[in-house]
Amino acid sequence: MRDEIGSLPGVSPTRFYVATGQEIAPIVPASELNLFGLDLLLALGLLLSTASQLRLAGVPIGPGEICLLMWVVLMVGREVARLGPPMTPALSRLLIFWSLFVVAQALGTVAGAVIGDRHDPELFLHDVLAYPLIAAVSCLSVVQPGAGARLRRVGWLFAVLGSACLAFQLFVAWGLVDVGLISPWYWERMRGWSQLPSQLALLCIVLGLVSLHLAGTTVRLAPKIIAVACAILPIYVGRLTQADTFSLVLVAGGPIFLAFRFREWLLSSRHELTLRSAAVWVFLLGAPLLLVSLVPLGSEITQRAGGIAKELTKNGGKDAEQETQLRLQIWNNAISRGVESGMFGLGPGPHLDIPAVLIAGREGENEPRNIDHPQLSASPNFEAHNTLLDLFVQGGLLADLSFLWLLATSFLNTCRARTAWLTTLVAGVFIYGFFTLIIRHPVFWFAICLCQVAGAEESGRPKFVQR
């Protein structure tokens, strides 16, 4: 039986809430039901943006980019029809970042022209077209009203559809389903629909942590179980990619989450000592004594930790030393190119020469299809595979500082909102960005947008009332 109907403070007058029992349930107007199509389009665009094998040969646009472009056009039409969105802290921060980013790229292009830098025109154009698309997606994702609720709906679609997509990619990888145009293995590493395993690993990181965030912020048991189930396949598939950075994020994510979860419990119990807060204080006070007691076992613990680390790395850590030297060589070249430009950068696109050891590539009788080896070109066409260094090469010091500022604001916003899984998500993508260029991936920007509206999402939730 309906007890009361009325509009709530801070809620749009077109949305009403019904108090049934103790929980307030929203009555969603038909106009808002039509937004489900937009949410689904955005979720599909995020998932398929990493499916680079689904693109036509020689065309840098695939189904993911088409979905995102359609979503941007529809959202722009929606905002124009209602005379633009209101300015909010999240939208202001993203607009500031993209303004600084454009200035940094423009200065880098001018600096590259002054010093006579050679660049690949096709790869230059690729970045010039990619950056405006992801800038539009990120800014339109946080426009109010209802940005927190909208991104939460997209998060649910992203998690559920993502698990279904990963399950299908597993069936293809195991040979249970034959898709002739897709080669799901990069030698012994799974890559699914992506061109590289690192792209699939980044998708798994965001999928897993978003699913756990949904599970941690859901009250009812059934959705909580579904969200936890959606985090299982991303962890399993991420391990199949054999990406060392995925293993690093997986290992570091647990302590990061526990640290901020303990912080939330302590802050939420500031005025009263509950069993949970007492347990946290006991753990914090006993941790130093526990560490001192483990000092005599230090050598054995170190040896066992080293063994576990080798098992988590690809090929059992056999190529770790060689890969480390190669990365250091590439990173040194990136720093040299950035300094050579006067720390202004060289503009969009890659600007590094391919290391000699990668020119030949790996060849063999059982080489999978669709393996792209680095090819020599008249212009440098290689990247540092480090977000900060690649931005330093493209936009100089200004691009790096603006990127770090955006990550810092996302991190602080999740800390204020007390969402431990989103804080872990920011830390996870930051760690992953040390070994991969992530700024062009829409899934990275979806994670940033979730973190930027975390406070608004918490404040916009329906409250529980007494009958």
pLDDT, tens digit only, all 467 positions of the chain: 333 333 333 334 444 343 433 434 444 443 454 578 899 999 999 999 998 888 877 677 889 999 999 999 999 988 888 877 788 899 999 999 999 999 999 999 999 999 988 888 888 998 999 999 999 999 999 998 888 899 999 999 999 999 999 999 999 999 888 877 788 898 888 999 998 899 999 999 999 999 999 998 888 999 999 999 999 999 999 999 988 899 899 988 888 888 888 877 777 655 455 555 555 445 545 545 545 444 554 454 444 444 544 555 555 556 667 778 888 889 999 999 999 999 999 999 898 888 877 665 544 445 554 555 556 666 777 888 899 999 999 999 999 999 999 999 999 999 998 899 999 999 999 999 999 999 999 999 999 999 999 876 544 443 333 33
CA distance 99 to 119: 24
Q: Is residue 338 part of a domain?
A: yes
CA distance 164 to 89: 35
Q: Is residue 295 part of a domain?
A: no
With beta carbons less than 8 A apart as the criterion, state whether 218 and 227 touch. Answer: yes
What local confidence, expressed as pLDDT, does residue 266 receive? 73
Q: Is residue 10 part of a domain?
A: no
CA distance 294 to 376: 53
CA distance 201 to 187: 16
Q: Which of 63, 59, 83, 82 is nearest to 71 (CA)?
A: 63
CA angle (393 as vertex; 128, 62 as ends), nearest 5: 35
With beta carbons less than 8 A apart as the criterion, state whether 431 and 245 touch. Answer: yes
Half-sphere exposure of residue 57, counting CA atoms within 13 Å on the CB side? 4
Q: Is residue 199 part of a domain?
A: yes
Q: Is residue 22 part of a domain?
A: no
Q: pTM of the prediction? A: 0.82
Q: Is residue 311 part of a domain?
A: no
CA distance 394 to 47: 27
Buried b (16+ CB within 10 A) or exposed e, 305-344: eeeeeeebbbeebeeeeebeeebeebbebbeebbeebebb
Q: Is residue 325 part of a domain?
A: no
Q: What are phi and psi of 434, to 5 degrees?
A: -70, -20
Domain that holds residue 45: 34-285+331-459
CA distance 71 to 65: 10
> What residue type is 283 in one-letter code?
F
DSSP H/E element including 180: none
Our count of domains for the chain comes to: 1
Q: Is residue 312 part of a domain?
A: no
With beta carbons less than 8 A apart as the criterion, state whether 172 and 179 touch. Answer: yes
Q: Which of 60, 139, 57 is nearest to 98 (CA)?
A: 139
With beta carbons less than 8 A apart as the criterion, state whether 465 and 1 touch. Answer: no
